[in-house]
Amino acid sequence: MRPGALTDDLLDRLRTRVTAGDATYTSTAVFTGGELATLPESTTGDVTTAFERATRAQQAWAAADLSARLPVFERFHDLLLKNRDTVADLIQAETGKSRRDAFEELCEPALVTSYYLRTAPKLLRPRKRAGLMPGAIGAAEHRRPKGVVGIISPWNYPFALALGDLIPALVAGNAVVLKPDSQTALSPLYGAELLYRAGLPEDLLQVVLGDGPTIGGAVVDTCDYIGFTGSTRTGTQIAERAGKRLVGCSLELGGKNPMLVLDDVKIAATAKNAVRGCFANAGQLCLSIERIYVHDSIFDSFAEAFVAETGKLRLSAGYDYGADIGSLTSQRALKTVAEHVDDARAKGATVLTGGRPRPDLGPFFYEPTVLTDVTPEMLCHAAETFGPVVSLYPFASDEEAVALANQTEYGLNASVFGRDRTRAAAVGTRLRTGTVNINDGYASAYGSTDAPMGGMGVSGLGRRHGAEGLLKYTEAQTIATQRVTVLNPPRWVPYGLYTKVMAASLRLMRRIGLR
């Protein structure tokens, strides 16, 4: 089932955006399991070519004033919203997600673009810093682009996680070589087309496609900085590789995200709200809730309300807004989800709802699934399922809930529901996760682009969004100017006397707060 927007003409244009020779591969139309698109496949030689072109283009881009660069992103923002139906069509065709989830996805690059349009002039301008000797020595901090940034992105949010990360890199004056997942390359390629239509200089954004370790590995081995989103396993390999070359990296990795339902919640409203936190994008969301801890005084009534809300979710394949939830993206994802549920069931877990594939809807559909009686020997207890499966656990006190939630090496996202928001937020500060959402699953923190987003523990290194999301693509350069010679004593001043004067100055500066 090809979506309306994917015409032969568009496909031909997207193919020209890949730096590659004659080799090709074919991606899957997820709703049917048939063929979606044949696209060029890059070699490591093509990666070298991509970097050469990007390096040449980057020089002029970095030399241009920021005020000359920003209008490209203003036009991109307009083009993105104008062409949202095409973007949503492509995202759906290659991921199998629902139209609602596709629309939510394309909002991320729009939010990020408008955020950095507003803040980049302030964040990137040179800043006066206190010099060593006030009056005699002045200092300023400048921000230089890294050069050519490599972005490697996954299949679950192929448009948001490619565009949302590469736009700040471009804004900061870098070129980008992007390697999306091969299954989900159409929407990021269309994003590249929109950027070029918005006036991005030719060659500044290169796209290479191919096998992760080979083509992704070549990107990591050549770039000046790597922005990676994907699994913790791959992230660890990338960090090692980048470390060997002493290039920086940011790693946005997996999670096993907890939700805490405190004893004072409004049960019906919380259950309704929690469903989206667990099952949006069929649970294939790094921020998705996979563990819900519920105060034991309300456990049964919450479980009943939550299961009822889960049962209302509409699953279907289609390019309209009728479905709440779409398909899983691949046979591999379906296999992991089924394995986790079957293993839990075999070891004594109770399936409250769901727990089965839905081949009648499409080859990779799986029902939203709620489990209880999950124990540590079950796969889904600690490992990321990355699908529509959530386990409910009771707790007796806030202390116990915090301890249980923190019992993981991951630390990406968490959620706390409570009628007393101050108390819920206080509980939230005790959780070891990069984002905490009070009375929401994930969107409040993720959508707050002024605040950093990323993981603690094995969930990642570095942050996207906020000042960090832009400044990570720059090097700080300090330019200090000695206006009056104070650092070398005149020949006629004995060094002993000079040290006394210096010590007295240091004391004075400390007292009056200058140093």
**3-class secondary-structure state, position 462:** coil
| Rounded Cα gap, residues 118 and 157, in angstroms | 25
Q: Is 188 in the site for ligand NAD (CB under 6 A)?
A: no
The yes-or-no answer on residue 223 being catalytic is no
Q: Is 158 in the site for ligand NAD (CB under 6 A)?
A: no
CB-wise, 250 or 310, nearer to ligand NAD? 250
Q: What are phi and psi of 366, to 5 degrees?
A: -140, 140
The yes-or-no answer on residue 252 being catalytic is yes
CB-wise, 294 or 333, nearer to ligand NAD? 333
Considering only the stretches 79-87, 188-196, 199-207, 211-219, report the one whose residues sit in contact with ligand NAD under the rule CB under 6 A. Answer: 211-219
For residues 371 to 400, the per-residue mask of contacts with ligand NAD, x marking binding by CB under 6 A and - elsewhere, is -------------x-x--------------
CB-wise, 311 or 462, nearer to ligand NAD? 462
Q: Is 156 in the site for ligand NAD (CB under 6 A)?
A: yes
Beta strand 248-252 with 225-229 is: parallel
Structure-block tokens of residue 26 = 């074919």
Question: Which of 94, 286, 309, 384 is the catalytic position?
Answer: 286
| Rounded Cα gap, residues 173 and 148, in angstroms | 9
3-class SS string, 53-90: HHHHHHHHHHHCCHHHHHHHHHHHHHHHHHCHHHHHHH
Which residue's entry shows tokens 């000046």?
224
Q: Name the nearest CA neighbour of 197 among 75, 300, 83.
A: 75
Per-residue burial over 95-125, b if 16 or more Cβ lie within 10 Å, else e, is bbbbbbbbbbbbbbbbbbbebbbebbeebbe
Q: Is 123 in the site for ligand NAD (CB under 6 A)?
A: no
Q: Is 225 in the site for ligand NAD (CB under 6 A)?
A: no
Considering only the stretches 137-145, 154-162, 167-175, 365-373, report the one whose residues sit in contact with ligand NAD under the rule CB under 6 A. Answer: 154-162
Q: Is 181 in the site for ligand NAD (CB under 6 A)?
A: yes
Give Cα 253 to chain centroid, integer Å: 8
CB-wise, 351 or 383, nearer to ligand NAD? 383
Q: Is 101 in the site for ligand NAD (CB under 6 A)?
A: no
Which residue's entry shows tokens 């990020």?
112
Residues 455-494 that bind ligand NAD (CB under 6 A): 455, 460
Residues of the shown chain interacting with ligand NAD in the complex, contacts defined by CB under 6 A:
152-157, 161, 179-181, 212-213, 216-217, 220, 229-231, 234, 237-238, 252-255, 286, 384, 386, 412, 455, 460
Active site members: 252, 286
